[in-house]
Amino acid sequence: MGLTGSTGPQGPAGPGGNNAKEFTYKSDTSGATQDVSDLDGVKLNASCDAFGRLTLTAVATNVAPGILTERDGTNFAIVPRFGTANTTARVLINPFSSASSRADVQVHYVSNGGQDTTINIAAVDLADGPNGLSNACVVFGTAMTF
């Protein structure tokens, strides 16, 4: 076996650390609107009304337009020009949303700068009956930005 050769140049930096975020919102009835999660170009706001029904909204935080797509249950929507200078918000769950719409919401947001944020959301409210968590409205999920 021969001698070890010289060491080559250092390679490029690897990808950043963990870019996953978890979020949870819990509220009893008549809960004020709260910021649930702040992501790249979009944030989630939730509230619980006096009847224990949930509202969840995606709010644009970038001025430049991006594209937001949403799928909940069998419903879907594409929101072009999603940005504070154009379309500022999209209601993801409202007090009249069906159980299937609350159970599985998927949101994709592509910012003007090319960042892609994928958000998976599940929620329950009093329309689903007692949830065992001592709160009328509960939202939980994960988000990743690439």
For residues 99 and 28, what is the distance between their CA atoms, to the nearest angstrom?
A: 19
List, for the chain, all residue ranges whose pLDDT scores fall below the cut of 70: 1, 5, 8, 11-18
Map out the domains of the chain with their CATH numbers. 20-145 (2.60.40)
Predicted pLDDT at 4: 73
23: left (phi over 0), alpha (psi -120 to 50) or beta: beta
Q: What pLDDT, in 10s, does the model give residues 74-94?
A: 889 999 999 999 999 999 999
Q: 2 is written with which tokens? A: 């021969």
Residue 27: other Cβ atoms inside 10 A: 21
pLDDT of residue 131: 85
Residue 55: strand, helix, or coil:
strand
Contact between residue 44 and residue 56 where contact means Cβ atoms under 8 Å apart: yes
pTM: 0.85
